[in-house]
Amino acid sequence: MQTVIGTSSAQTVKRWATDLAIDAEKRSYWGTKFVGDDENSIVQRKVELEEDAGDRVVFDLLMRLRGEATFGDDLIEGKEENLTFYQDELRIDQVRKAVSAGGRMSRKRTVHDLRKSAKRNGAIWISEWLDEGYFVYLSGDSAFAAVNQDAKWKIGFAGNPVTAPDTDHILYGGAGTSKATITTADKMSIAFLERIAVKPTMMNATNPDVVQMQPITYEGTKRFVVLMSPIQTHSLRTETGDLSWSKIAMALATAEGRNSPICKGGLGLHNNLVLHEHASVRRFNDYGAGANVDAARALLLGAQAGMVAYGAAGKGTRMNWVEKLADADNLVNFYVCMILGMKKTVFNGKDFGVCALDTAAKDPNAA
């Protein structure tokens, strides 16, 4: 029996666009866990461009006052300290994906609802594209050297540059101090997690020019996220020592604030670090003195590590859905469209809410 598909009314198109946006958001790893509208989100969604005209949004960071105090009757006039603002900019552009439902005879041979199939596949593609973008930008793989780089992403998008981690926002596992000094022994470990936990609290104390990373706050609890490759998680799970993996998992299951979005789906909790894993964490095969050590770049994530902005693609929606007949009404094509931009937050040449965590990471199932 032939599935009948035709161009839809404006109301139906809007419904399909809305359904597509909801479906894509539900499928997105970052969207369900780490993206929010306020400053207490790992990726903050900027909404200014959804209603207003323009292709970029500029946001400021006000630096702390650092000057000395004035005591007693010493003159204070002329000692005013200037307010210092740093700016970052996020641009948006259009991204589209086309899906073909085939010709009239192809549609006649199938009982599938091709519109639903197109929407489902379109939502999967969009969610994967968005997730890949967040990994690209927040990891700062500016050379696009990761061995698990997705073909959907090869360059920065919308003119938003992919910037490598600065020297104040990268840590190396074990005894490693650089990409070239990582050895196969410098894996993810409890000892490394302990070092990681110190990093955000001491950033400004060790370098006044670096803004201290801010945790995600929920019901009075303050946490950071460590997002690892499953290979790095394997190193932790199989590590021997006094602190077993079961204790790490139990710490999250019984912790205050465990209903926070950043805790849901987490693997465990250690020293206020909520541990997560994802296969798209960037992996490399050119670390070490001989450029032959397999490695992965986990991420320490705090508030406002990244930004995302949308420009309304359709009326009242962040995505647009178009159905079009072609080839003398023989072919049916579907088009999905978004207008958006994303990037890592950077002020004055320094990363703001993310720190790269590079370790050796050899696949335990590799030869």
Q: What digits encode the pLDDT tens for the residues 312-330?
A: 655 556 777 777 877 777 7
Least trusted range by pLDDT, from 9-13, 248-252, 329-333:
9-13
Q: Residue 83 CB: number of other CB atoms within 10 A?
A: 8
Residue 185 lies in a domain: yes
Are 330 and 290 in a shared domain? no
Residue 126 lies in a domain: yes
CATH code assigned at 322: 3.30.2400
Are 285 and 310 in a shared domain? no
Q: What domain count does the chain have?
A: 2
Residue 22 lies in a domain: yes
151 band by pLDDT with thresholds 50, 70 and 90: low
Are 321 and 182 in a shared domain? no
Residue 108 lies in a domain: yes
Rounded to the nearest integer, the mean pLDDT of the chain is 84
Strand runs labelled E in the chain: 35-36, 43-46, 56-62, 85-91, 93-100, 170-172, 216-218, 221-228, 268-270, 273-277, 283-287, 293-301, 306-311, 319-326, 331-344, 346-347, 350-351, 354-360
Residue 365 lies in a domain: no
Give the Cα separation of 246 and 258 in Å (integer).
16
Residue 70 lies in a domain: no
Mean pLDDT of 133-156: 84
Are 97 and 198 in a shared domain? no
Identify the top-confidence range among 134-143, 191-200, 201-210.
Answer: 191-200
Are 338 and 224 in a shared domain? no
Q: Using an 8 Å Cβ cutoff, are 104 and 3 in contact?
A: no
Residue 276 lies in a domain: yes
307 band by pLDDT with thresholds 50, 70 and 90: very high
Q: What digits encode the pLDDT tens for the residues 198-240?
A: 999 998 888 888 888 999 998 889 999 999 999 999 999 998 7
What is the residue range of 103's domain?
10-64+84-135+306-347
Pairing of strands 293-301, 221-228: antiparallel
pTM score of the predicted model: 0.86
Are 215 and 355 in a shared domain? yes
